Amino acid sequence: MSKGISQIIFLALPVTLCIVSSGCGLIQRNHSIGAVDRPEYAYLALTPPMGWNSWNIFAKDINEVNIKAAADAMVASGMRDAGYQYLVLDDAWMAAERDENGALQADPNKFPRGMKDIGDYIHSKGLKFGIYEDRAYRTCQSLPGSFEHEQIDMATFASWGVDYIKMDSCSAEHNGRLSSEDYAIYRHYIEETGRPMVLSISDFGNAAWVWGGKETSQLWRTGWDIRSWMDSVYNCADCSGGSHRSHPAFNGLWQFAGPGYWNDPDMLQVGNIKIEDDAVRVSANKAHFGLWCILAAPLMAGNDLPHMTDTVRDILTAPEVIAVNQDPRGVQGYKVFVDDKLEVYNKPLADGTTAILLLNKGREQADITVTWEMIGLSGKQAVRDLWERKNLGIFEGSFTAKALGEHGNMMLRIGKKGKPLPTAAPVPLEKYTITRQGVTSLSDLYYAWKNYNAPVYNRTFEGTPIIIDGKTFEKGFGCKSKAAFMFAGTERGDRLMGTVALDESYQGDNEGRFRIFHEDYFANRVLWDSGQMTKDSPAKAFDIELADYNCLMLTFDGRNIKDGKRANDVLGVFGDVRVIATD
Ligand code: GLA
Take atom 11 of ligand 1 and give the residue whose Cα is closest. 140
Q: What end-to-end distance do the CA atoms of the chain give, in Å?
A: 40
Task: Give the pairing type, strands 198-201 and 219-221.
Answer: parallel
Task: Find the Cα–Cα–Cα–Cα dihedral 183, 188, 194, 199, rounded to 10°.
Answer: 10
Sign of torsion over alpha carbons 278, 279, 285, 288: negative
Ligand 1 centroid to residue 91 C-alpha, Å: 7
| pLDDT at position 413 | 98
Q: What is the DSSP string of 470-529?
A: TEEESSEEEEESEEEEEE---S--SEEEEEEEE-TT--SS-EEEEEEEES-GGG--EEEE
Torsions phi, psi for 346 (to 5 deg): -130, 135
Nearest to 453 by CA among 348, 571, 318, 338: 571
Take atom 12 of ligand 1 and give the residue whose Cα is closest. 140
Ligand 1 centroid to residue 55 C-alpha, Å: 7
Ligand 1 centroid to residue 54 C-alpha, Å: 11
Active-site position among 72, 117, 120, 225:
225
Ligand 1 centroid to residue 168 C-alpha, Å: 7
Neighbours of 9 (CB within 10 A): 11
Ligand 1 centroid to residue 144 C-alpha, Å: 14
Half-sphere exposure for 15 (CA within 13 Å, toward CB): 18
CA 423 distance to own-chain centroid = 20
Kind and range of the H or E run holding 502: strand 495-502
Per the CB < 8 A criterion, the answer to whether 479 and 526 are in contact is: no
Nearest to 140 by CA among 59, 198, 249: 59
168 is catalytic: yes
Say how many residues make up the chain. Answer: 583
| pLDDT at position 243 | 95
| pLDDT at position 489 | 78
CA of 315: how far to CAs of 269, 285, 293, 318, 347, in Å? 12, 8, 11, 5, 20
Q: Which of 54, 56, 168 most suits a substitution to test ligand 1, by most atoms within 8 Å of the C-beta?
A: 168
| pLDDT at position 38 | 87
148 vs 177: CA distance, rounded Å: 12
SS3 50: strand
SS3 88: strand
Under the phi-then-psi rule, with left for phi > 0, alpha for psi from -120 to 50, and beta for the rest, what region is 209? alpha
60 vs 465: CA distance, rounded Å: 52
99 is catalytic: no
Amino acid at 151: Q
SS3 380: strand
346 vs 335: CA distance, rounded Å: 6
Task: Please enumerate in sequence order all residues whose Cβ is within 8 A of that of 449, keeping only pairs 6 or more positions apart, or say none.
Answer: 206, 207, 209, 210, 245, 246, 485, 486, 553
Q: Which of 53, 146, 202, 266 most suits a substitution to test ligand 1, by most atoms within 8 Å of the C-beta?
A: 202
Q: Show pLDDT as tens, one digit a residue, over the chain (583 residues).
A: 232 333 333 333 222 222 223 333 222 333 344 456 789 999 999 999 999 999 999 999 999 999 999 999 999 999 999 999 999 999 999 999 999 999 999 999 999 999 999 999 999 999 999 999 999 999 999 999 999 999 999 999 999 999 999 999 999 999 999 999 999 999 999 999 999 999 999 999 999 999 999 999 999 999 999 999 999 999 999 999 999 999 999 999 999 999 999 999 999 999 999 999 999 999 999 999 999 999 999 999 999 999 999 999 999 999 999 999 999 999 999 999 999 999 999 999 999 999 999 999 999 999 999 999 999 999 999 999 999 999 999 999 999 999 999 999 999 999 999 999 999 999 999 999 999 999 999 999 999 999 999 999 999 999 999 999 999 999 999 999 999 999 997 678 899 999 999 999 999 999 999 999 999 999 999 999 999 999 999 999 999 999 777 799 999 999 999 999 999 999 999 999 999 998 8
| Ligand 1 first shell, C-beta below 6 A | 55, 90-91, 132, 140-141, 168, 202, 225
Neighbours of 13 (CB within 10 A): 12
Per the CB < 8 A criterion, the answer to whether 302 and 259 are in contact is: no
Closest ligand 1 atom, CA of 90? 10
391 vs 329: CA distance, rounded Å: 23
SS3 233: helix
Sign of torsion over alpha carbons 448, 450, 454, 456: negative
Q: Which of 140, 171, 219 most suits a substitution to test ligand 1, by most atoms within 8 Å of the C-beta?
A: 140
Kind and range of the H or E run holding 487: strand 482-487
Torsions phi, psi for 449 (to 5 deg): -155, 145
Active-site position among 90, 107, 163, 168:
168
Amino acid at 32: S
Torsions phi, psi for 455 (to 5 deg): -75, 155
SS3 206: coil
232 vs 32: CA distance, rounded Å: 33
| pLDDT at position 36 | 60
Torsions phi, psi for 137 (to 5 deg): -65, -35
Per the CB < 8 A criterion, the answer to whether 481 and 568 are in contact is: yes
SS3 labels along 241-285: HCCCCCCHHHCCCHHHCECCEEEECCCCCCCCCCCCCHHHHHHHH
CA of 92: how far to CAs of 55, 63, 107, 116, 130, in Å? 9, 9, 8, 16, 13
CA of 43: how far to CAs of 38, 49, 328, 407, in Å? 8, 12, 12, 36
Scored b (16 or more CB within 10 A) or e, 484-519 reads bbbbbbbebbebbebbbbbbbebeeebbbbbbbbbb
